[in-house]
């Protein structure tokens, strides 16, 4: 832990591209760092520590709110007005790097940024920080999605409930669901946002299909329209329609709120729900993803996974200080603070082995699901996927896509063609 901090603090010179004409954050006398609204308190505390431990840094460090998921589009509109240090999900690395928006992370005369990132972080997050063989990100967290359920509907103390919760078919097969509290309407049994490509992938991965090839780097490789993909499409068309009443598709947060309020038995959503929707909830439990039954065989759903990374704006006039700050925020000690105070699973390998993480029941489930997940591809072409997946998933749920094989095959073929279209 101390070794990481010392290297980050002692970095006085870094090899980066020459400074651009205009600085970020308003003037060259300040370094701006972005973080989510919910992370502002912790981030400001870490920045204060950075200033105390780095008296040679004369620039003012400014913390501002910016949602990580929208960061790429905000930076692209005006890179010179964006922050110097930017938090993004890893699938934006390739898009931003290709556009020249990110500074490459390298070792310098007094800094070992790249070496430390590769040595200290989970190999998956290092790959997610890399595009075309170059390193662009300082990994901070790892995340995926799991299943949450309410004991107000699915009481896991009842005999056989473990096997029941392990199967989508069992949950959707319940004969009679209880009423929604205060209503004569019946609760739904199970849900996920089938119109969101982040979740739509689960069944295709379960039957062995791949997105952009086995390692997610082949822009021409997607086999979701093969016979295995058709098997999942038939399953989805049968089980994931709104008209069935037992399945519910909606925004992930809305589904989580429905589970919290006993309007829905179980839903799939990200680890972040435990810091938000389910914080202090007493009726909520969690587990890894359930299975679906294909050709009489149980197939565990396989999640997408991602990481959040701090990157350095390529237009920053203070790339050296920005890199020192990014390394400081993401070091082992601070990743542990993000884990303990914000509930984020760390990317740092030592932090993962810390008792506060390793022995935590929730983090154990996250770790198990991470080991049974596929990282969202880094390549810029991933931007083609989201709308294409949304179209297919939404058509299944609202019933506009007929359930016959010809319609399902045509839909998958169209999906593949959309992936191959220009960005």
Please name the fold of domain 144-302+378-420. D-Maltodextrin-Binding Protein; domain 2 (3.40.190)
Angstrom distance (rounded) from CA 77 to CA 242: 38
Distance in angstroms (rounded) separating the CA atoms of residues 248 and 231: 21
Contact 33, 61 (CB under 8 A): yes
111 neighbors 58 (Cβ within 8 angstroms): no
pLDDT of residue 409: 97
Same topology for domains 2-143+306-375 and 144-302+378-420, yes or no? yes
**pLDDT at residue 389, rounded to an integer:** 97
Find out whether 378 and 309 touch, Cβ atoms under 8 Å. no
- What pLDDT does residue 27 have? 54
**Nearest by Cα to 170 from 302, 290, 303:** 290
Strands 303-312 and 373-375: parallel
Distance CA 328, CA 58 (A): 16
Of 196, 201, 197, 186, the closest CA to residue 258 belongs to 186
The DSSP string of 99-146 is: TT-BPPP---SS--HHHHHHHHB-HHHHHHTEETTEE-EEEEEEEEEE
141-153 confidence digits (pLDDT tens): 999 999 999 999 9
Q: What is the CATH number of domain 2-143+306-375?
A: 3.40.190.10
In what helix (H) or strand (E) does residue 312 lie, and over which residues does it extend?
strand 303-312
Alpha carbon 334 to its chain's center: 20
pLDDT-flagged residues of the chain (< 70): 1-28, 422-423
The residues pairing with 285 across neighbouring beta strands, listed in sequence order, are 149
What local confidence, expressed as pLDDT, does residue 24 receive? 58
Q: pTM score, two decimals?
A: 0.89
Report the b/e string of 284-317 with b at 16+ CB within 10 A: bbbbbbbbbebeeeebebbbbbbbbbbbbbbbbb
Q: Where are the domains of the chain?
A: 2-143+306-375, 144-302+378-420
Separation CA 178–CA 43 (nearest Å): 44
pLDDT at 422: 52
How do 188-191 and 247-248 pair as beta strands?
parallel
79, 49 contact by CB (below 8 A): no
């Amino acid at each position: 832990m101390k070794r990481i901090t010392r290297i980050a603090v002692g970095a006085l010179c870094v090899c980066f591209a020459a400074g651009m004409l205009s600085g970020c954050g308003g003037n060259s006398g300040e370094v701006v760092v972005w973080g989510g609204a919910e992370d502002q308190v912790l981030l400001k505390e870490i920045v204060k520590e950075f200033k105390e431990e780095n008296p040679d840094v004369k620039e003012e460090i400014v913390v501002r709110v910016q949602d990580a998921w929208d960061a790429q589009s905000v930076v692209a509109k005006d890179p010179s007005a964006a922050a110097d240090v930017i938090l993004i999900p890893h699938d934006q690395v390739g898009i931003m790097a290709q556009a020249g928006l990110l500074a490459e992370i390298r070792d310098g005369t007094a800094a070992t940024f790249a070496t430390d990132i590769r040595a200290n972080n989970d190999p998956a997050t290092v790959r997610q920080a890399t595009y075309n063989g170059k390193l662009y990100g300082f990994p901070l967290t790892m995340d995926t999605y799991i299943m949450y359920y309410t004991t107000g509907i699915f009481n896991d103390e009842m005999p056989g409930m473990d096997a029941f919760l392990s199967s989508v078919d069992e949950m959707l097969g319940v004969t009679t669901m209880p009423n929604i509290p205060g209503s004569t309407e019946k609760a739904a049994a199970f849900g996920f946002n089938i119109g969101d490509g982040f979740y739509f992938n689960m069944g295709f991965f379960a039957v062995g299909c791949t997105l952009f090839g086995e390692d997610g780097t082949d822009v021409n490789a997607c086999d979701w329209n093969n016979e295995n993909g058709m098997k999942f499409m038939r399953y989805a068309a049968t089980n994931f329609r709104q008209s069935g009443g037992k399945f519910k598709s909606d925004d992930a947060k809305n589904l989580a709120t429905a589970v919290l309020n006993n309007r829905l038995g179980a839903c799939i959503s990200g680890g972040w729900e435990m810091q938000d929707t389910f914080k202090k909830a007493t009726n909520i439990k969690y587990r890894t993803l359930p299975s679906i039954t294909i050709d009489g065989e149980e197939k565990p759903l396989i999640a997408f996974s991602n990481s959040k990374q701090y990157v350095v704006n390529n237009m920053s006039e203070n790339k050296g200080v920005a890199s020192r700050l990014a390394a400081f925020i993401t070091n082992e000690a601070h990743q542990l603070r993000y884990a303990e105070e914000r509930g984020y699973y760390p990317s740092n390998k030592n932090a993962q082995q810390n008792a506060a993480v390793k022995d935590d029941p929730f983090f154990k489930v996250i770790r198990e699901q991470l080991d049974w997940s596929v990282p969202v591809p880094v390549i810029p072409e991933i931007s083609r996927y989201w709308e294409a997946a949304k179209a297919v998933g939404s058509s299944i749920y609202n019933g506009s896509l007929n359930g016959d094989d010809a319609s399902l095959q045509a839909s998958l073929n169209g999906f593949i063609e959309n992936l191959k279209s220009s960005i």
